Amino acid sequence: MRKVTLWRQLRVLVTVSALTLGVAGAESAQAGTAGRGCPAGQIFATNNTAIITDPADPRLKTRLTRFDHEVRGIIHANGARPRASKLLDGVFWSGDLKQATYERSREFDVNKVGRDGLHHIASVIAKQYHQESVLTFRCLPRTSPETDAVEIQAPGVSADRLHDTLLANPESRDELGGGSVTLDGRLILVAPLADLPLAKKFTKDLGVDWNTVEVRYGDEEFVS
């Protein structure tokens, strides 16, 4: 999706981590059943190779239509079934630049794919579009030994609010790195299990009612 340094700061896109039993018991009933609607895999990717720091940059208005068609072709050619894809507006903190960076990307739902197949597809995308890393996520049961991340989705968040809240919260900025929102204002925040309490706090700082949050459990991988 984005360059590996930004992806590792995000721990997002854009898929998604596990809750321990103790933490899960405190979450909403909705979070406990969210996996029912998950695709077999998700890929968060872009064809952008530039670092964008200006929120008015015209490259952030692209709909990545050709990229969408091309990635669907890659998914299909490698034996999986492409489903829906969503445009994402990402806001990330660059520790090197000491400022926010921006990215337009897409999240692709993939069916009829396993762990190895998803990894291979992501590696093809990374190489074809000169990405240092592409993020994948597989939905898994909360108790699976492979579950290592959470994907938090929540309505009512704009890219501007994400930007302002990220910059106002140094701990979240440095540990979570950032997040993405869909064009209809749905937050997508990926975090490792250890950062779940911080991700929950950051989500609430965005003004989100935790009772409206969907938490997905699964396995994340940064594929180069």
What is the tens place of the pLDDT at every residue in 145-200?
999 999 999 999 999 999 999 999 999 999 999 999 999 999 999 889 889 999 99
The full DSSP string for the chain is ---HHHHHHH----------HHHHHTS-HHHHTGGGG--SEEEEE-S--S-B--TT-GGGG---HHHHHHHHHHHHHTT-EEEEEEEEEEEEEETTTTEEEEEEEEEEEEES--HHHHHHHHHHHHHHTT-S-EEEEEE--TT-TT--EEEEEEES--HHHHHHHHHH-HHHHHHH-EEEEETTSEEEEEEEGGGHHHHHHHHHHTT--GGG-EEEEEEEEEE-
pLDDT at 89 over 60: yes
Angle (nearest 5°) at CA 38 between 157 and 80: 120
- CA dist 201 and 107 (Å) reads 24
pLDDT at 5 over 60: no
What is the pLDDT at residue 57? Answer: 97
What is the tens place of the pLDDT at every residue in 93-117?
999 999 999 999 999 999 999 999 9
Backbone φ and ψ of 57, nearest 5°: -60, 125
What is the pLDDT at residue 25? Answer: 38
What is the pLDDT at residue 35? Answer: 54
What is the tens place of the pLDDT at every residue in 183-196?
999 999 988 988 99
Chain-centroid distance of CA 20 in Å reads 20
Top-confidence residue, 89 or 11: 89
Report the share of the chain in percent with pLDDT over 90.
81
